[in-house]
Structure 1
């Protein structure tokens, strides 16, 4: 047996209210961060997405060098890692602790040799250094001692080098370089300066701030040339980006608009309005070398605009912002799957990409998804609700409440929904509770095969129940697990049951004989979060908190496929999206697919 890495469906950028989110681009690629993951996403070739998970702490900003060979990424501890993006090994070029707190922005010089990183430190708030040695190439100083959080940095890519930093003290500091040294303080804004960017030509740079103002400056001397006053934004301007020809500027604002400006005339050419409310606030942008304008909504949506067309985005890239907590394949539509996240969202994936389900969803973590024989999909969440998804596109308005916090959900062959909860097991049909089981143990997982229901418990046992349409009757107790039974799954014909536990052990049971078939599926080192069987019932995949995925063989229990270090934070779901195609999802919010080959 062997595996091959296939497609990656990345998470969207992380956002925080009242804060700008730094996006960057190189050619057609957009670069951003979410948690410990750095994502490089190709807008022209979606299957070419790449993630990097080398940071120990959450990342904040990442930028590709002008040469295109390296990426520099910073995190909340003040560490910058420089890594190779050519090839799959992502080898580390250098790691430097540059400030003592969060890095808010960093920038490469035009020669791909020097980097300036800025942020929120204790003793210093910016550092200029060589990318290969980490040695200093000047001083980043000049901002107020009281509010010295630096939000952005921009470097002129042509000689003579210049750099500008923007901070919460409402000033921009202009530096000569290299080595970089203080030149002067620019006081144009009256509130926090959120972003500063140099034009690709190096002739100008621009700044935007919380005072809703946009200013233009001369690139070499830093002289203020003027303000963009035609049709200004009505809210904080969070980001600005230059066109590849340096003739246009795009700005993104918390007033839910994106504006395109003619720099020479200083007039707004186009204004795009993206709805209203916090979720539509625009908190970051970048202008790609392929001439796509990308603006980031507070909701995490990446809005892609064509400057020549329309009053709305040409397309919108959806995706999870938080950890994926559960995911299943849609039985009614091959290649389609659903993913539930830690913030209560459920996304449906098809060939056209992720789509957020319409209607009112869950308000807290989605703890389980299950597909019914009739093609319907049901979800449960920590808001103590059972919801039905209609046609894979929207939530059914009717909802059923649970007696306690749901942990897992499954559907019997008569379309009765069974929910394993902290206090028992509920049976729900047509949004009505039809039966409730109050066992002496605490349920932790549930699965169904026909009218047989398996309930895993915190007491390290699995109980089998028979459902007659009215009540559950206990049929057997299966023992052998060494921890809380965290995942159970029947083979497609219902003859076998895999039970994974919190110690990383999986026991395979013969359902008819009520006995263990093998206990050798024990290579995981942490909690089993998900189990998924192949259609022929000969192989079972497991995903664990230990970040690994294994594919096990029924006929040869000691043979397996080990897919190691699948994603930082652990694997929360595995499922089959087609013959020989396995998908995994987890804490980094990404879904990865793997081609599995079963040798005879």
Structure 2
């Protein structure tokens, strides 16, 4: 019995309006680094479907940066802690952990010899700190000079050492060292200074602020050289990044555009990213031939300088927790839905994805099924909507339920949904019948046995079994659990029903009498079980839980199981689906999709 993680389809960067995010690349320019909640994502730039995830922070990570040597990554979180971990081992062994600041770390940078680190952010009167990477010992000097939190920091990549910081007090501070001493403050910006970055040759540094201005300074003495544009952007500037030859500068702005600046001439090439609020650009980075920008939507855009009107590619996905997952009948596409109402379709073979367009629910998606060559979603806006899988867009169909749906299932000739107040039967995109309930319905599944049998799990610790004839439901029996029933699923061969509950149990019943199979209740999870799924041959059951584990159970060998611990580290498993009898796909609260091979 064994398992293997085949692939990780990463989440997008977590964005927030008015807040810049920090991107970084490895020294070879092959890996993109960013944060989402308490995860640090390492993503292949050439093939974004290849990714790795670091999840050892217990709170939100704000920034992560490769050391110039490429052997280590330093990541800083909202509580002021930094973790330094290696990039060589798959386990990402921890080198050191320090707490240099008393508040959230917003940015950090390494010295060019990979021996020293400077962190900046919030604190109790102390907004920046320099320390030795090996020991955590403070580097002599004083980085005072700001009255408010520091948003950005950059270290001169050549000797003599210099550090420059940008703050919410609208000022840029310039330090010489080591030991680091305050030299001067630059007051050219009139609003929050959001980004400071040294050029690779160390000759200049650039600053960008919410006043839409970019200034270029001498890297050694800190003297103002010029302003780019007047102003550079019509909206606030969230990030700047230098070209490898230090002659050009890429900027990202809240005015929904990016620009490439020729620093010498001041000429600019503009990339208009769209017209929606989600098209505001909150970060950018220049890595070799790749110019990458991130919008408020979280989308990662590869800019094309030779064709500014059309990007090379756009990487999409989820930036918020995934709630539901479904597989198309031909097994070629995977659909995932999230708490923010977004739906993404994934190519199962390549991991490439596309965001479903059109007007969706705009909020939590609680149901997702494939039916009659359409994808149906249910949302807490009390509706069911349809997606055209060819166009990857909502069709405009909207079925009103009258109460909040918790899950939907496919029945012959229609759809059945359980809501907070009733069980609804939908045919021809219309609600044609309902069965009022006095308990909270949580999940639903349908079994094709002539007259369809319906299993509905409730917060009353019962599974309610119904028979569906035409548009009428008749309650047949109930099955008792010791906790709220969170998910139910009939086996593909219609011989079994599996259910899971908040009491950590996974229980299999045999049909048609709904007796316990082998008189066994599987209970190896440590917390509420969220989801269950059958393998196509109806012999294996996968369960996912709040405890971050996936467990594979066998009907023929009920005393044996495969435990995948920390399948989604520090994030509960929210969805499972089998591609074949040996491969299962999981989704998590971390917004990540993972594929597993299991051998029983």
Q: Is the TM-score greater than 0.5?
A: yes
Q: CA deviation at 1:339?
A: 0.7
Alignment of 1:378-389 (within 5 A): 378-389=376-387
Cα deviations by residue, 1:123-161 (Å, 9 ceiling, x for unpaired) = 31111111121111144534343xx11000000121211
2:57 is matched with 55
Q: CA deviation at 1:523?
A: 0.6
- The normalised TM-score by structure 2 is 0.96
What SS class does the counterpart of residue 279 from structure 1 fall into?
helix
More divergent stretch after superposition (133-142 vs 522-531): 133-142
What SS class does the counterpart of residue 558 from structure 2 fall into?
coil
Q: CA deviation at 1:310?
A: 3.9
Structure 1 unaligned residues grouped into runs of 5+:
none
Q: Distance in 1 between matches of 2:70 and 2:215?
A: 30
- The normalised TM-score by structure 1 is 0.96
Q: Distance in 1 between matches of 2:49 and 2:438?
A: 49
Q: Distance in 2 between matches of 1:277 and 1:140?
A: 43
2:197 is matched with 197
Q: CA deviation at 1:231?
A: 7.6
More divergent stretch after superposition (439-448 vs 34-43): 439-448
Alignment of 1:73-92 (within 5 A): 73-92=75-94
Q: Distance in 1 between matches of 2:437 and 2:270?
A: 60
Q: Does 1:339 align with 2:339?
A: no
Q: Does 1:218 align with 2:209?
A: no
1:400 is matched with 399
2:293 is matched with 295
Q: CA deviation at 1:221?
A: 1.2
Q: 1:525 to 1:49 in 2, by over 3 A?
A: same
What SS class does the counterpart of residue 278 from structure 2 fall into?
helix
Q: Distance in 2 between matches of 1:140 and 1:341?
A: 46
Whether the 8 Å CA contact 1:127–1:139 is kept in 2: the answer is no
1:465 is matched with 466
1:437 is matched with 435
Whether the 8 Å CA contact 1:273–1:312 is kept in 2: the answer is no
Q: CA deviation at 1:578?
A: 3.6
What SS class does the counterpart of residue 378 from structure 1 fall into?
strand
Instruction: Provide the alpha-carbon RMSD of the alignment.
Output: 1.5
Q: CA deviation at 1:356?
A: 1.1
Q: CA deviation at 1:230?
A: 6.5
Alignment of 1:145-294 (within 5 A): 145=147, 148-229=148-229, 232-268=232-268, 270-288=269-287, 290-294=288-292
What SS class does the counterpart of residue 493 from structure 1 fall into?
coil
What SS class does the counterpart of residue 529 from structure 1 fall into?
strand
Q: 1:2 to 1:352 in 2, by over 3 A?
A: closer
Cα deviations by residue, 1:143-198 (Å, 9 ceiling, x for unpaired) = 343xx110000001212111100001111111112232212111221111110001
Whether the 8 Å CA contact 1:244–1:291 is kept in 2: the answer is no
Whether the 8 Å CA contact 2:236–2:253 is kept in 1: the answer is yes
1:137 is matched with 139
Q: Distance in 1 between matches of 2:231 and 2:413?
A: 57
Q: CA deviation at 1:225?
A: 0.8
Q: CA deviation at 1:441?
A: 2.9
Whether the 8 Å CA contact 1:240–1:249 is kept in 2: the answer is yes
Name segments (4+ residues, structure 1) moved above 6 Å. none
Q: CA deviation at 1:375?
A: 3.1
Q: CA deviation at 1:47?
A: 4.3
For these two proteins, the number of residue pairs brought into alignment is: 590
What SS class does the counterpart of residue 107 from structure 1 fall into?
strand
Alignment equivalent of 1:421, drawn from 419, 422, 429: 419
Alignment of 1:110-125 (within 5 A): 110-125=112-127
What SS class does the counterpart of residue 285 from structure 1 fall into?
strand
Structure 2 unaligned residues grouped into runs of 5+:
none
Whether the 8 Å CA contact 2:8–2:592 is kept in 1: the answer is yes
Whether the 8 Å CA contact 1:21–1:283 is kept in 2: the answer is yes
Q: CA deviation at 1:516?
A: 0.7
Q: Distance in 2 between matches of 1:65 and 1:212?
A: 30
Q: Distance in 2 between matches of 1:468 and 1:295?
A: 54
Whether the 8 Å CA contact 1:143–1:171 is kept in 2: the answer is no
Alignment equivalent of 2:579, drawn from 573, 577, 580: 577
Whether the 8 Å CA contact 1:520–1:558 is kept in 2: the answer is no
Cα deviations by residue, 1:273-330 (Å, 9 ceiling, x for unpaired) = 0111311111101111x32011111111111113233422110000101001111222
Cα deviations by residue, 1:49-107 (Å, 9 ceiling, x for unpaired) = 11111011111111111111111111111111111121211111111111111111111
Q: Distance in 2 between matches of 1:419 and 1:292?
A: 46
